[in-house]
Amino acid sequence: MDHVSPHPAAAGPLQPGGHDAGPPRPDDGAPGGTAEALSRAADSTFPELRPLTLGDPLRWLALGWRDYTRHPGIGSFYGLCFMVMGWLLLKVYENAPAYMLALSAGFLLMGPFLCMGLYQVSMRLERGESPDFGDSLTAWDSHMGQMAIFGFVLLVLEMLWGRAAMVVFAVSFDGMPDLRGSLMALVNPDNLGFIVTYLGVGGIFAGLIFAISVVSIPMMLDRQVDAITAGLTSLRLVLTQPMVMIFWGALITALVVVALLPWFFGLLVIGPVVGHASWHAYRAAVQHPAN
- Give pLDDT tens digits along the chain (291 positions): 444 444 444 444 444 444 444 444 444 444 444 434 434 444 447 899 999 999 999 999 999 999 999 999 999 999 999 999 888 877 776 666 656 665 566 666 677 788 899 999 999 999 999 998 988 888 877 778 888 899 889 888 888 887 888 888 888 877 666 667 777 777 788 888 888 998 898 889 889 999 999 999 999 999 889 999 999 999 999 999 999 999 999 999 899 889 888 788 999 999 999 999 999 999 999 998 764
Q: How many CB atoms lie within 10 A of CB 110?
A: 17
Q: Does pTM surpass 0.85?
A: no
